[in-house]
Amino acid sequence: MEKKTLDVQGMSCGHCKAAVEGALKNLNGVSAAEVDLKAGKVDVTFDESKVNVAAMKEAIEEQGYDVKA
C-alpha cells in the first residue's frame, strides 16, 4: 500500500469532506481517504497496482474541486 497527500482547493464543510472521501473510497484500490478541511489536504492510502494518482485527481475534480498536487 502507498500513501499520498493531495492538495485540494475549494473544500469548506462537512459535505465537501464527505463528497471527496466518498469519491475516493469508491475507486477500486483506495483503502482509506481522510480529508483535513483546514489544511485543504486529503491523505489517501491506496494500492498502486489498482489505481493511480490521475484517477484519484479525476474522481475529486468530478466532485467540483481542484487538485493542485
pLDDT of residue 69: 60
Tens-place pLDDT, residues 13-65 = 999 999 999 999 999 999 999 999 999 999 999 999 999 999 999 999 999 99
pTM of the model: 0.93
Confidence of residue 2 (pLDDT cuts 50, 70, 90): very high
Can you tell me which residue has the cell 492510502? 45
Domains identified in the chain and CATH numbers: 2-67 (3.30.70.100)
- Rounded Cα distance between 26 and 11, Å, is 19
Whether the predicted pLDDT of 8 surpasses 80: yes
